[in-house]
Structure 1
């Protein structure tokens, strides 16, 4: 039986250098359990608050 293991806000493509997150196409990364985990990207924009409080899909900037 297919069950959702995890669902979190995720970008459709990583931001370009200097690009603001508000300019990105957002959706949901959904991970299902059916034997091996399966992934699906759903093009349904999360709220701005959900995007701000996401756990994953972050860009870390290195220091020069």
Structure 2
């Protein structure tokens, strides 16, 4: 039986340098448990608050 293990806001494509997150296409990264975990991107926009409080898909800067 397919069950959702995890679901979080995720962008469809990473932002370009200098691009604001508000300009991105957002959806949900859904991870299902079916023996081996399966991933799916659901094109349903999360709320702005859900996007702000997400844990993943953050752009990190490589500062040297």
How many positions carry a matched residue from both structures? 64
TM-score by length of structure 2 reads 0.96
Write 1 or 2 for the structure with the bigger share of strand: 1
Moved over 4 A (4+): none
CA-atom RMSD in angstroms: 0.7
Gaps of 5+ in 2: none
Residues in 2 aligned to 1:7 and 1:58: alpha-carbon distance in whole angstroms: 15
Structure 1 unmatched runs, 5+: none
